[in-house]
Amino acid sequence: MSTARPVRTGLIGLGMMGRHHARVLRQVDGVELVAVADACGDPHGVAGDLPFVDDVEGLLRLGIDAAVVAVPTAYHDAVGLQLAEAGVHALIEKPVAHDVAAGARLVDAFETRGLVGAVGHIERYNPALQSLRARLEAGDAGDVYQIATRRQGPFPSRIADVGVVKDLATHDIDLTAWLARSPFRSVYGHAAHKSGRPHEDLVAFSGRLDDGTVTSHLVNWLSPFKERLTVVTGSRGSFVADTLTADLTFYENATVDTAWDAVSAFRGVAEGSMTRFALTKREPLVLEHEAFRDAVRGRRPVRVVTLRDGLDTLRVAEAALESAATGMPVDPRASLVRV
């Protein structure tokens, strides 16, 4: 048990994701959930015996060090700025904001005050992807050629103010750049509106990272099954990470030897051995909150996904939407909004 003073934390937003934050905040060592807030009430009975207030001001009056922001995306900007102005650290659910301009305001507000600003790109804390990143760094895949993701399932009733790109595809954008340790150089995509909602519910886009890695991403809210897969293909084989089950499998590339001069210049591949790794599986949301707690306490290295990371991801998401609208590839770094 830690002897440091618990981080006094407030939670604002008590919807589907908020209730999970409340559960985890109650169990993480070194964190004290002080109060919860939501202008629309407490539909899941999250508060229990905790003080329940309507807004950020109510949380601030109770004296908090940090806050978790799980309100709809359209309100991330306003709520985050209130917290920053009060000197409160914040973990803001993804996407960081509804657009790049709002995201840039948040980055500036937290960085200029020396506050911890984190964004909830929870896939980075998935055991399968954490193991995969370590193995890529060790060179187990050899030269990485491609990263492909598939993230699809039924429409979530919790989402009303953004489309599938900013809600779901931002996971894949963030994890891809994080796994490769390289930002996106360009994206080219197609999106569709098939369910009558104002925002896109299907997107397919490809990308190229600064290091030359080719990427592809299939994301939708239209599939009757749920899928969360990341495939990394390199010169030594392919890793397949299933983040629903936190499983990681490696398919070895068995090089094919040939004496046929006409094709000897081409280095082919053949099926080699398959390894499914035994991983310690802890809940990603718990790991995310532990990383946020440690960052608030000033521990190093910092393991949170920073607001600036979230802003970079949002730039790529908006570039994918721009590409889908124009039919042209887009460089995410061409955004005029800078901090």
pLDDT digits (tens, 9 = 90+) for 200-228: 999 999 999 999 999 999 999 999 999 99
Q: How far apart are CA 99 and CA 267, in angstroms?
A: 45
Q: Does domain 126-280+316-326 have CATH number 3.30.360.10?
A: yes
- Choice among 71-75, 262-266, 276-280, 287-291 with the minimum mean pLDDT: 262-266
Helix axes 16-25, 284-296, angle to 10 degrees: 60
Q: What is the pLDDT confidence band of residue 260, given thresholds at 50, 70 and 90?
A: low
DSSP 218: E
Q: What is the pLDDT confidence band of residue 318, given thresholds at 50, 70 and 90?
A: very high
SS3 for 128-147 is: HHHHHHHHHHCCCCCCEEEE
Q: Any bridge partners for residue 217, and if so which?
A: 149, 205
pLDDT of residue 259: 57
Mean pLDDT value of segment 91-120: 97
Give domain limits for the chain: 7-123+285-306, 126-280+316-326
Percent of the chain with pLDDT over 70: 92
Residue 145 scores a pLDDT above 60: yes
pLDDT of residue 155: 84
pLDDT digits (tens, 9 = 90+) for 273-314: 899 999 999 999 999 999 999 999 999 999 999 999 999 999
Residue 138 scores a pLDDT above 50: yes
Q: How far apart are CA 57 and CA 117, in angstroms?
A: 19
The reply to whether 126-280+316-326 shares the fold of 7-123+285-306 is: no
Q: Answer yes or no: are the C-beta atoms of 25 and 33 closer than 8 Å.
A: yes
Cα separations (Å) of 324 from 27, 137, 218?
43, 33, 13
Q: What is the pLDDT confidence band of residue 195, given thresholds at 50, 70 and 90?
A: confident
Q: How far apart are CA 62 and CA 8, in angstroms?
A: 10
What is the average pLDDT score of the chain?
Answer: 93
Q: Answer yes or no: are the C-beta atoms of 240 and 248 closer than 8 Å.
A: yes
For the domain made up of 7-123+285-306, give the CATH fold: Rossmann fold (3.40.50)
Mean pLDDT value of segment 151-177: 89
pLDDT digits (tens, 9 = 90+) for 19-34: 999 999 999 999 999 9
Distance of CA 36 to the CA centre of its chain: 24
Cα separations (Å) of 251 from 39, 133, 228, 272?
50, 16, 18, 7
